[in-house]
């Protein structure tokens, strides 16, 4: 199929893009990598009256420092995977990004585009929730930072206003001894995940001082297992404790059925992935 007719405008600055969005209202859509939007337009699942091309704006790059990683909205997935400095500072980024789709999509897809699209099992939104990240957004009214936990409202639904543009993603990095792990399972490599789990653990000696657990495939947006996180503080991780924590994290989730998997199967995957991620993150924190 072909997309419905639309107007095309190339923005020459963030301010210009914001102005165009304000003028066009909810009928306009931003075009960055186009890896989600263009297929939806071809299938006529999306019918914007205007495409605002932001692909040439200076919103690409990776900044590492002061306990934080900042990724520009137009940074391609491949740039993150190939960044040696980021791999050394926080290997969980490369570990998460390697699950993103296929080489062509990793070469063209953008950080901001993935977050704005908000697929329920997308990797970058899951990593943002795991690390208590923020989404930086701009509009003609000014700039704001939105906490990841408040940004993702549900499947393909976010707190972003129609006249806002994502400019960067900000990820806090733990200051002390810590380890992370991200695991997901899909029907085939590069397909959308059936379920995924991300974990970070900070520890002093053998004792866990802080833990974060995020589940993807448990709901219509990534969710933190805050109750399980709290139960792990002060504990020593072993296989039994990891298995129990994985089961607890998954057991009270609604999850969902679709043509690829049942909710029950997704919960069993989440329990196992969480257990394995906990053991790996704990070992890496040593």
Complete domains list, the chain, with CATH: 7-53 (3.30.43.10), 62-172 (3.30.465.10), 178-284 (3.30.390.50)
φ, ψ of residue 254 to 5 degrees: the values are -70, -40
Does residue 25 have a pLDDT over 90? Answer: no
In order, the DSSP letters of 215-272 are EESSSSS-EE-HHHHHHHTTPPP-HHHHHHHHHHHHHT------SS--HHHHHHHHHH
Is residue 2's pLDDT more than 90? no
At 248 the pLDDT is 97
Which pLDDT score is estimated for 42? 93
Dist. CA 189–CA 103, nearest whole Å? 11
Span 151-178, average pLDDT: 95
pLDDT one-digit tens code per residue, 28-69: 999 999 989 999 999 998 999 999 999 999 999 999 998 999
User: Could you report the per-residue pLDDT of 216-275, keeping only the tens digit for each?
Assistant: 999 999 999 999 999 999 999 999 999 999 999 999 888 888 888 999 999 999 999 999
Residue 208 near residue 202 (C-beta atoms within 8 A): yes
Residue 87 has a pLDDT of: 95
In this prediction the pTM is: 0.95
Cα dihedral 161, 165, 170, 171 sign: positive
């Amino acid at each position: 199929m072909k997309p419905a007719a639309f107007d095309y405008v190339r923005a020459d600055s963030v301010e210009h893009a914001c102005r165009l969005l304000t003028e066009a209202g909810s009928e306009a859509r931003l075009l960055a990598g186009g890896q989600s939007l263009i297929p939806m337009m071809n299938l006529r699942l999306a019918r914007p009256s205007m495409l605002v091309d932001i692909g040439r704006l200076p919103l690409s790059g990776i900044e590492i420092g002061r306990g934080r990683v900042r990724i520009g909205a137009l940074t391609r997935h491949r740039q993150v995977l190939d960044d040696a400095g980021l791999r050394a500072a926080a290997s969980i980024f490369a570990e998460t990004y390697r699950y993103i789709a296929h080489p062509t999509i990793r070469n063209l897809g953008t950080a901001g585009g993935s977050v704005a699209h908000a697929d329920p099992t997308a990797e970058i939104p899951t990593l943002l929730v795991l690390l208590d990240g923020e989404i930086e957004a701009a509009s003609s009214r000014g700039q704001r930072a939105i906490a990841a936990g408040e940004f993702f409202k549900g499947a393909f639904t976010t707190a972003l206003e129609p006249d806002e543009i994502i400019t960067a993603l900000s990820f806090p990095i733990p200051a002390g001894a810590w380890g992370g792990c991200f695991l997901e399972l899909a029907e085939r490599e590069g397909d959308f995940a059936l379920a995924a789990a991300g974990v970070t653990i900070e520890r002093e000696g053998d004792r866990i001082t802080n833990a974060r657990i995020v589940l993807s495939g448990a709901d219509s947006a990534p969710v933190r297992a805050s109750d399980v996180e709290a139960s792990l503080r002060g504990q020593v991780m072993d296989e039994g404790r990891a298995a129990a924590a994985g089961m607890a994290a998954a057991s009270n989730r609604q999850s969902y059925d679709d043509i690829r998997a049942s909710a029950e199967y997704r919960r069993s995957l989440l329990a196992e992935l969480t257990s394995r991620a906990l053991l790996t993150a704990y070992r890496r924190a040593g």
